[in-house]
């Protein structure tokens, strides 16, 4: 961490982890902003890359107040140091908290280069120029949050994400350039929302898209409730049936683990605070 970073001396700490529980905590930054991070009992630490987020995904609490600013590399190290101060053993890091990492690409690249742990990234793919660069860069995993089989549903769920056709075109262009090992580190995130993207039509369109990428793993996620939002995940039995149906089509499918599904620190539930945060954009 940069000695000149002058961080606020105290982090506003969240709830302590109980036995086998996630530990979600907030970290105070120099300018009075706060971001949240989560340690999972699996040894994964999830860090934020921005104060807020500009992507406007309507199911996500993190982007509700729009984007205030990107974090600097020392601010990512500050989150890591705070997790260690809280006594956590950390085996790997995922940049899947608040923000779109590709919009903080300089920070993300500097962080990956300066940390001794494997780092993965979760991204909408926006901007595509940064995605193209990061596909070839050092990382331990790149999860693309697509959440749709068709452009119309993608526009609804990731409204400021990349153009859907251009995203798949870029992936198809870059795929032959990636080693098999690197290809296996690419995943597609699909947050299954009842009545929105769990239809046979939507899933068939997704299956067709993925036929050209046999090494990709599809991660089926459940929605972690955010106050005041109307979304709903299908029940566990439906999730399992969807996963089985997609496996029959030849896809590699994983269901979200239980840590990512806790109300405390589950995906999409992190929030930031900033002095100049704009009113909701989602």
Q: Note whether 124 binds ligand SF4 by CB under 6 A.
A: yes
Q: How many helices (H) and strands (E) does the chain have?
A: 8, 11
Q: Note whether 171 binds ligand SF4 by CB under 6 A.
A: no
Q: DSSP per residue over 82-124, as a string?
A: HHHHTT---SEEEE-SSS-GGGGHHHHHHHHHH-SS-EEEEE-
Determine the Cα–Cα distance for residues 182 and 142; give it in Å rounded to an integer.
9
β-strand pairing of 44-46 with 50-52: unpaired
Q: Note whether 62 binds ligand SF4 by CB under 6 A.
A: yes
- CB of residue 204 vs ligand SF4: minimum separation in angstroms? 24
Determine the Cα–Cα distance for residues 186 and 166; give it in Å rounded to an integer.
17
Q: Note whether 53 binds ligand SF4 by CB under 6 A.
A: yes
Q: Note whether 98 binds ligand SF4 by CB under 6 A.
A: yes
- CB of residue 118 vs ligand SF4: minimum separation in angstroms? 21
Q: Which is nearer to ligand SF4, 54 or 85 (CB)?
A: 54
β-strand pairing of 34-39 with 44-46: antiparallel
Note if the bond before 21 is cis, omega within 30 degrees.
no
Interaction pattern, residues 249-268, with ligand SF4; x per rule: CB under 6 A:
-------------------x
Q: Note whether 83 binds ligand SF4 by CB under 6 A.
A: no
- CB of residue 179 vs ligand SF4: minimum separation in angstroms? 27
Q: Note whether 68 binds ligand SF4 by CB under 6 A.
A: no
Task: Using CB under 6 A, list all residues that contact ligand SF4.
Answer: 53, 55, 57, 60, 62-63, 98-100, 124, 268
């Amino acid at each position: 961490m940069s000695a000149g970073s002058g961080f606020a001396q105290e982090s506003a700490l969240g709830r302590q982890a109980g036995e086998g529980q996630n530990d979600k905590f907030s970290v105070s930054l120099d300018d009075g902003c706060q971001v949240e991070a989560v340690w999972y009992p699996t040894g994964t630490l999830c860090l934020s890359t921005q104060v807020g987020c500009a992507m406007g995904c309507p199911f996500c609490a993190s982007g509700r107040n729009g984007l205030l600013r990107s974090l600097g590399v020392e601010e990512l190290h500050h989150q890591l140091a705070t997790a260690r101060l809280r006594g956590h053993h950390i085996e790997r890091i995922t940049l899947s908290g608040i923000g779109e990492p590709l919009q903080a690409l300089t920070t993300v690249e500097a962080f990956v280069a300066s940390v001794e742990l494997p780092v993965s990234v979760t991204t909408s793919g926006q901007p595509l120029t940064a995605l193209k660069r990061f596909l070839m860069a050092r990382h331990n995993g790149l999860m693309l949050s697509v959440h749709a089989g068709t452009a119309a549903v993608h526009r609804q769920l990731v409204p400021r994400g990349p153009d859907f056709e251009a995203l798949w075109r870029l992936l198809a262009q870059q795929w032959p350039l990636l080693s098999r090992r690197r290809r296996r580190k690419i995943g597609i995130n699909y947050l299954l929302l009842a009545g929105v993207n769990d239809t046979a039509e939507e899933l068939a369109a997704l299956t067709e898209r993925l036929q050209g990428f046999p090494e990709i793993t599809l991660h089926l996620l459940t929605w972690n409730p955010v106050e005041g939002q109307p979304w709903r995940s299908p029940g566990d039995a439906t999730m399992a049936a969807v996963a089985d149906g997609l496996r029959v089509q030849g896809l590699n499918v994983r269901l979200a683990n239980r840590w990512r599904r806790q109300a405390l620190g589950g995906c999409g539930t992190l929030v930031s605070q900033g002095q100049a945060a704009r009113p909701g954009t989602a």
